[in-house]
Each structure stands twice: as C-alpha cells, then as structure tokens.
Amino acid sequence: MHRFLQAVLWRDLTLAARRRGDWLIAQFFFVMVASLFPLGVGPEPQMLARIGPGVLWVAATLASLLSLSRLFADDHRDGSLEHMLLSSGPTVLLVLGKSLAHWLIYGIPLLVIAPVLGLQFNLPTDAIVTLEISLLLGTPILSLLGGVGAALTLGLRGGGILLTLLILPLYVPALIFGAGAVDGVMAGTGAEAHLSLLGAFLVLSFMIAPWIAAAALRVSLE
C-alpha cells in the first residue's frame, strides 16, 4: 500500500515540476493579495500589525482554493484517474497521496513566503514564528478538506464555483484558529490554545477527509 501512495505522490510532483507555471500562479496570488492590503489601509505600523495575521491567513486560504479545482480534474480529463481507481491500490491512499502532493506543491511555498510578508505587516519575530507554526498545521487541513470538495464537484459544470461554496465554510475553523494563534502572541495571551485546537482539527481532517473524498470520487465516476 505504501508503494501505491509513493507512486501517486511521485507522479503528481513530477507533473507539477513539468508545469511550473500552474503552481506558481497560486503563490503569486498569495503575494499579490497580501501586498495589496498595506497599499489600501495605509502604512501605519500598528494597523498593519493588527490586521496582518488575518490577512495572511485569508490570502493563504484563497490561494489554496485557487488550485483545488485541478486536484482530480486533469487526471479525469485524460482518463488516468479511472485507471488508478481500477488498480489494486485503495482509493483512500489515492486521495491521500494527491492531497499530500497538493500540500507539498502549494502549501510549502506559502511557508517560505509568509515570513517575508509578515515583515511587511510589521509583525514581531515571535508572531512570525507562530504564524509559521499555524500555517504548518493549517495548510494540510486546506489540502485534505479541499480533496473532499474536488471529489464532490468532479465533472460538474461550474465546478470551481461550487467547490468554493462547499469548502470555504469548512475552512473557517482553520482560519480562526490560525489567525487567532498569532493574535494571541501579539496580545500576550499565548498561542497554545489556538494551536492545540488547530492540531486537533488537523488530526480530525486526516482521519475523516480522505475517506469521504474517496467515497465521493467513486460516486462521481460512476
């Protein structure tokens, strides 16, 4: 089973390396959204530091949504998804492998870019460290839950809009806990409670989301 997971993961990473422009769009979008806010609200440092955690988390959430519609769509279009479902590998591992690949392709670059954008919002060092930890825990949640939405909307006309409507409400807890952890550090109340809840949400998503996505994927292809 682990070989099947590795094969799915390696395949998606290889395809992403050949189509760098596709995944760079999400990173560019993340930078652009986060950079527009200081221009809109002004250069006042205290204001930027107050809105910074929420803005960065919202930008990361929207950047993740931007790339989810292609999680299964490209493989469905060329017929390779059906072949993978008919193979001996469990569908859950197929979904898990694709969600993990999505996180590596889109989530890890966000972790690299976020500290630079945190400086742009005048965040202190401890807040930037907490932001990184919250994104490390939160971005896998976005990929796992996104796999559910991508499977449910596979092959539907206007699936991208429907995907957003389905998944965005599920992202709200991760957004609240992630931004709240950074706010807690800046307010002096600590981030432990928010990070613990975010970690619990990650474990819950890991245990449930791949199974739901696998079932939805089989229904969508019937």
Greater model confidence, 133 or 69: 133
Residue 102 to residue 140: CA distance in whole angstroms: 9
* pLDDT surpassing 60 at residue 75: yes
Q: Write out pLDDT tens, residues 155-183.
A: 777 667 788 888 888 999 999 999 999 99
What's residue 35's pLDDT?
A: 87
Q: Retrieve residue 150's tokens.
A: 């991508």
Q: Write out pLDDT tens, residues 196-207.
A: 999 999 999 999
Which residue range is the domain that position 46 belongs to? 2-220
Q: Give the chain's domain count.
A: 1
Please report the DSSP string for the chain in residue order: -HHHHHHHHHHHHHHHHH-HHHHHHHHHHHHHHHHHHHHHH-S-HHHHHHHHHHHHHHHHHHHHHHHHTTTTHHHHHHTHHHHHHHSSS-HHHHHHHHHHHHIIIIIHHHHHHHHHHHHHTT--HHHHHHHHHHHHHHHHHHHHHHHHHHHHTTT-TTHHHHHHHHHHHHHHHHHHHHHHHHHHHHHTS-SHHHHHHHHHHHHHHHHHHHHHHHHHHHHHT-
The CA-based dihedral angle spanning residues 164, 167, 170, 176, taken in that order and rounded to the nearest 10 degrees? -40
Residue 89 to residue 4: CA distance in whole angstroms: 6
Mean pLDDT of the chain: 86
Find the mean pLDDT for residues 76-103.
82
* pLDDT surpassing 70 at residue 1: no
* pLDDT surpassing 60 at residue 110: yes
What's residue 144's pLDDT?
A: 93
- This prediction has a pTM of 0.89
* pLDDT surpassing 70 at residue 21: no
For the ranges 13-17, 39-43, 62-66, 88-92, the maximum mean pLDDT occurs at 62-66
